Amino acid sequence: NYITLAYSLPELPYSSYTWIAAWNGRQLRAVHKSQFVATQSSSKRYKTNIKPITKERARRILDVEIETFDYKNGVVDDREQYDRTGAIAEDVAEIYPEAVIFRDIEGLGTVPDAIDYSRLIPSMIKMAQLQQEEINALKKRVMDLEGES
C-alpha cells in the first residue's frame, strides 16, 4: 500500500499535476496521474445508516449538463488543453454539491473548483437499473399487446 503525496500550488488545480509521489514505507516513487487509481473504503464494516438511494436522488444525474470545452492556457498540459468533455463545477455544485471540491481563492472566497466524478457513479448505476426496469416493463407490455392481436 502506498501513501500518496501531491504538491499543491495554490494557483493550480489538481488537474495540472502530471506526477504524484507515492510512498510505501520503503521507497518513494513517481506515479503518472493517468496511472493513479483512487479508492474509497467500501466495506459495510465502515458504514452505518445503510439504505437504498432514492429514485429522486438518482435522477439528479439527468440534470448534469455535459459540455465540450478547451482549457485556458496554463491550466493543464498542452496535450490535454483542447477538445475536452465534462461538466462545469459551478453547475454541478447546484445539483450535486457532494461531488464538487470547493477551494478558497483570494478575492473570490470559497468557490467550486473541481468535480469528483467518482461521486456521480452510484447515481449513474442506479439510473441504469431504473431504466432497465422500465425497458423490461415496456417489453412485457409490448409482448402482452402483441399476444392480444
Q: What is the pLDDT of residues 44-70, one digit of tens each?
A: 998 999 999 999 999 999 999 999 999
CB atoms within 10 A of CB 119: 15
**% of residues, the chain, pLDDT over 90:** 58
Q: Which residues contact 32 (CB under 8 A, 6 or more apart)?
A: 18, 19, 20
Confidence of residue 8 (pLDDT cuts 50, 70, 90): very low
Expressed in angstroms, the distance from the first to the final Cα of the chain is 63
